[in-house]
A and B are shown apart, each in its own frame.
Chain A
């Protein structure tokens, strides 16, 4: 819709019409763009329907790639690409990420939706919080912080929300292993629940395949 394009001229990096209008903004312009969208009388995107983070670090990677004929045949693709474990002494393994925060807004007045994407720089996980614009952002931002480690500046209660009390790491990042790092069990001798390193072997049942048509 041209109205959006006009309004956001100079504030956005990218504008695409796909399943819905999708704009990409820089972190510094994020709050400006969202408040413009919210307050404009012809748009009135007053409801934040969804907020989520995406980790783009493995985007387009295939687990089933060979350059030449292989003698190992079906052994390829068994090891999942996200098999790395966190070394608790230094958290470097999990450091590889490429995060993006996506906002889905809805205008109930004009029956229209828009998606706003904001990529995070490599060196900083901080992004401004939008809790002062949309009340529903509160828990969504806590979730994105919990699962991806995005730090929302200005959120006044940025605690973990879905994972266990005392959980370490941000499990929805692509480099976080699917089987996790720790498991809990009841120890009858100590008579309490203990945490220990996970003993499940990570494996892939169906490898990720990308077929270009």
Chain B
């Protein structure tokens, strides 16, 4: 045995705790990690290159598929970049809708993170609870866009459709009798906003449930406290953003610091950690879910009393009304132009970022005046996070690698792009 001091171990890419397709080459000294070399790119689809060959609107769908658990936040950064180059102002209502769905997305993301993270460390039940709530939020996605995940809902100038006045219901089927179906439909009698309202009313209690299971759980604390500690200065240097940065005690949130859309009208707090370990990042994300619920509530109340436009009336970038298109020559031309050639942006470049659930999701877009982006660089928050994995796992045990991958909230769609 004494002959074998250090040895190399291959972790992934087909490992459930690798959160997708992460391949790690670990240099081990017994059970202690000496160094980790992440091999990424197994999910590389060249999104940025594909985007250069397509008109602006056709790329929105690619954005969903980057960080595929926070779909609408990705779209948001992309449409913001287009609107910034165009200097386009969008209706107030669409801003509120976007913010509301950004926060719904944040809860969706954090729920999946929580479930998967807990499952990795050995707590099964949280995963099931988290997916119970995710189901309802997916239904909100479906109600506005027709799809549960890859919504393509945000458009330059606003959003694709207005919020529906009826919430889709479960139908009687061979597996569920009338009683069961009525139970499932109890909060689906009103509009989408009523449904979201009822969700937000019960959601803080759900978060209490998760916290009951984990926050003071001895095993949970043993697995997370003191694991993957990053100091504030080091976190900044490593390019951390979002909960990873806030977990280290840096108060930085783009929703407060560079408020886009209508975040400056809303009341919410930014939770930060003190120790910079995995447990603090867990606490930060849990608190963020509660804050998101507050934001959704405020947006909901505002939207209920508003009947404005959901998309810009500028038909050079937003499609005209369908009925109008059949009667009006001008609208017909606009429609044809928009869906064949698209629209051209003025020459310019911009960097627009949003506070995505994982951190700063940025779009650096260069336009040479064409109907396609000349260059689209996607700044994915997970990329610098994963780059620091080597530093974070050094000296920890093999089992802590799983904790640290979990606490970084790694999703390969955005890292590999």
Contacts and interface: CB of A to CB of B under 8 A. Distances in A.
Interface in A12-47: 18-20, 22, 46-47
Chain A facing B: main interface SS: loop
B285 to A, nearest CB: 20
Interface in A153-191: 160-164, 171-172, 178
B271 interface: no
Interface in B37-62: 40-41, 44, 46, 48-50, 53-55, 58
A54 interface: yes
A93 B377 CA distance: 24
A50 B379 contact: yes
Chain B facing A: main interface SS: mixed
A49 to B, nearest CB: 7
Contact of B369 (A55, A104, A160, A210): A210
Contact of B41 (A19, A134, A163, A211): A163
Given A47-B236, A102-B364, A136-B384, A178 B41 contact: no
Contacts of A172: 46, 48-49
B351 A136 contact: no
Contacts of A210: 344, 368-371
A97 interface: no
B237 A47 contact: yes
Interface size class of B (residues with CB under 8 A): 35 or more
Contacts of B49: 171-172, 178
A209 interface: yes
Contact of B348 (A18, A50, A60): A18
Among A108, A160, A163, chain B packs the most CB atoms within 10 A around the CB of A108
A209 B53 contact: no
B260 interface: no
Contacts of B416: 162
B252 A108 contact: yes
B22 to A, nearest CB: 13
A206 B80 CA distance: 23
Among A47, A115, A211, chain B packs the most CB atoms within 10 A around the CB of A47
B237 A62 contact: no
Contacts of A160: 41
B371 A115 contact: no
Contacts of A52: 364, 377
A49 B362 contact: yes
A50 B351 contact: yes
A3 B298 CA distance: 40
Contacts of B374: 58-59
A162 B44 contact: yes
Contacts of A46: 236-237
A49 B416 CA distance: 17
B258 A111 contact: yes
Interface in B371-413: 371-372, 374-375, 377, 379, 383-384, 386-388
Contact of A18 (B340, B349, B384): B349
Contacts of B366: 54
A54 B238 CA distance: 23
A206 B344 contact: no
A180 to B, nearest CB: 9
Given A19-B84, A108-B252, A60 B237 contact: no
A113 interface: yes
A59 B342 CA distance: 19
A19 B344 contact: no
A126 to B, nearest CB: 21
A210 B341 CA distance: 10
Nearest to A107: B236
A22 B348 CA distance: 12
B355 to A, nearest CB: 13
A209 B350 contact: no
B257 interface: yes
Given A59-B374, A206-B340, A211-B369, A49 B250 contact: no
Interface string B345-359: 010111111000000
A59 B374 CA distance: 7
Interface string A114-135: 0100000000000000000011
Given A135-B237, A139-B387, A162-B44, A49 B349 contact: no
Contacts of B46: 171-172
A163 B50 CA distance: 15
B239 interface: yes
B55 to A, nearest CB: 5
Contacts of A54: 366, 375, 377
B349 A206 contact: no
B237 A19 contact: no
Given A161-B41, A209-B341, 10 more contacts: A19-B348, A19-B349, A48-B239, A49-B241, A49-B379, A134-B239, A162-B417, A164-B41, A178-B50, A206-B342
Which 3 A-B pairs give the minimum distances between C-beta atoms? Answer: A136-B239, A162-B41, A139-B387
12 contacts: A19-B348, A49-B239, A50-B379, A55-B375, A80-B53, A136-B238, A140-B384, A162-B41, A162-B417, A205-B54, A208-B370, A208-B372
